[in-house]
Amino acid sequence: MDPLQPENDHLPSPPLISDRVLINGVVTPLTLTAEGELQWTTETGRGKSTTEKEILSFAVEGNKVRVKTLVESTGSSSICCGGSGGDYARKEFVFEPLYDESRKLWCDKLRQRLHSLGRPKRLLVFVNPFGGNKTARKIFLEEVKPLFDDADVQLDVQETKYQLHAKEMVRSMDVSKYDGIVCVSGDGVLVEVVNGLLEREDWRTALKLPIGMVPAGSGNGMIKSLLDPVGMSCSAASATVSIIRGHRRSLDVATISQGTTKFFSVLMLAWGLVADIDIESEKFRWMGSARFDVYGLQRIICLRQYNGRILFVPAPGSESCGQPASDNVEKESSVSDKTPGYQGPDTNLEDLEWREIKGPFVSVWLHNVPWGAENTLAAPNAKFSDGFLDLIVMKDCPKLALLSLMTKLSDGTHVQSPYVSYLKVKAFVLEPGARIDEEDKEGIIDSDGEVLARGRKSYKCDEKALMSYGKLQITVDQGLATLFSPE
């Protein structure tokens, strides 16, 4: 580089607009920088507010311009989902241009800057009034809706009235009317929405519609996985802010197949200890997320083990896990090409290098994202769109060691235990068996908090499940769905 040549790359860009205005009746210089920062200087000091993170919207009131902002509170220590919303403070900044033309120019520049951020303008919002400890409606009205109102986001609100209500709605909705879908709930409504979108004829277009989560249920694993890496507390306010800002990210989708029956999973699949705790603890749903700890202790004291076999295609670096598979894996039967909707990834399973692990098992756990619940870092190495599932297997473990492991779920160090095998897989087959102590009793297969299959004499075994308690096949489609993301 010529040393005499000016380094134009380091020169600040000219401001979008800079002028003198009235702030609290005092003539004050005000600037909107090219980077979208509103800056002013008064006798009490300098102030600033960014369009990227703090400015939600603005309104003209006579000669004045009222800017609505959201400022991050200091000293917030909340780490749990569904918090009080104390992470942010809603504030307003009012200024008065000195003449009409200046006011028009300020409004044009602010509007253009906010529009350039690609924020959502209209959202379909599902509120599940039955999830967790039934606070979703209150969370929405007191913490979520005021922020969307300040950001001038139009909302179509639908309370879910029964299981699969959200799935039915998104399967037939006009996706062109919305910039996204928001679930004020636990993870269950998110799963319904994804499955509903994937069953549409226009699923490729529908899946581009981003989905946002606001924690208001027992399990809030997806939103915790989104917010935790960027240091944001898992609260309704933080989640709503992430949606308003409009950033997006891709999400892997796992297809679980049994014959022609399919279920699309975005969170996890469990069999054994984790599934038993997740599903059988429903009797304590009134306790909220504490139900998992209480019932988990009971299940460890009366520990079950299951016969069975798992087969998997390991990611690079995990090829030494297990043994070479003793037989070939063939793709499950496919439905007719005329059937509308997504049919799963087109993966040639026969040509893959399959490995196997035989039981008995205490627990088999597959995870798509790091957090299984707001206090359970199940798979610390899981990524949103790496094309792999994280597999956590426990074959045998003394009860005292297992109790110790359960206390380590909050920081993910359980995967370092010698009793745990932890690896990434591209494809997976589960062949579940009966309990080793009572061979006439089988287990539960759980995916994303819902029962996929109930074995003989298992919890609520008379209730109908989507699949039978038998061989399941799981494949991953990388980055298929879209989420609202904090970054």
Looking at 220-318, list the stretches that DSSP marks H as alpha helix, in order from N- to C-terminal side.
Answer: 221-227, 236-245, 273-280, 290-301
At 151, list the tokens: 């950001």
Q: Specify which residues 249 forms β-bridges with.
A: 483
Decide if 389 contacts 267 (C-beta within 8 A): no
Give the span between the Cα atoms of 222 and 483, in whole angstroms: 10
Check the CA dihedral 227-231-236-242 and report its sign: negative
Sequence-ordered list of residues with C-beta below 8 angstroms from that of 178, at least 6 positions apart, any chain? 122, 123, 124, 156, 209
Query: Which residues are the active-site residues?
Result: 187
Q: Which residues of 314-337 are buried (b: 16+ CB within 10 A; e: fewer)?
A: bbeebeebbeebeeebeebeeeee
The two three-digit tokens of residue 342, written as one number: 């997504």
Cβ neighbour number for residue 476 with a 10 Å cutoff:
25
Specify the amino acid at residue 487: E
**CB contact at 8 A, 389 and 474:** yes
| 275, amino acid identity | A
Q: Who's near 317: CB < 8 A, 6+ residues apart? A: 424
E-only strand ranges, 242-291: 248-258, 261-265, 268-272
| Integer Cα distance of 47 and 26 in angstroms | 14
Strand (E) or helix (H) holding 172? helix 165-172
